[in-house]
Amino acid sequence: MSPDTAHGEAGDIVEVPLHRIAHARAGDKGDRLNVGVIAYRREWYPVLREQASAERVAELFAHRNPRAVRRYELPRLWALNFVVDDVLEGGVNDALNLDGHGKTHSFLVLSMTVRVPRGLLDPTKEEPER
């Protein structure tokens, strides 16, 4: 289901941060970051699947020079799992940064914008116009 055609004309499409339609959890295995992204509602999973690609996640982490980014789909959970290699500066035992486990990296993924049919969004949670 393409968000451009699923629920009306292109004018009915709005761009929102991913955190409007999904939540995420991150963790580590050595120097490998794992970020699970889960749609809040079933009807948002196709948007997540179509637009939250491994390539887009790699772009978000480009400043950390990931060796590889892989995406795994978990459709029954309405979720995606991203595995990002070599971004934790050696992992929790080797890194001197404040977040050796990579927990805060889920917020970076949730900052990605996605295009969603306006009809799929909850109007009570709309961001105020600026």
- pLDDT at residue 11, rounded to an integer: 54
Domain covering 10-118, topology: Gyrase A; domain 2 (3.30.1360)
CA distances from 110 to 21, 31, 94, 97 (A): 9, 21, 26, 21
DSSP secondary structure string, 19-59? GGTEEEEEEEETTEEEEEEEESSGGGHHHHHHHS-HHHHHH
Say which residue, 97 or 14, is predicted with more confidence.
14
Q: What is the mean pLDDT of the chain?
A: 81
**pLDDT tens digits for range 83-92:** 998 777 554 5
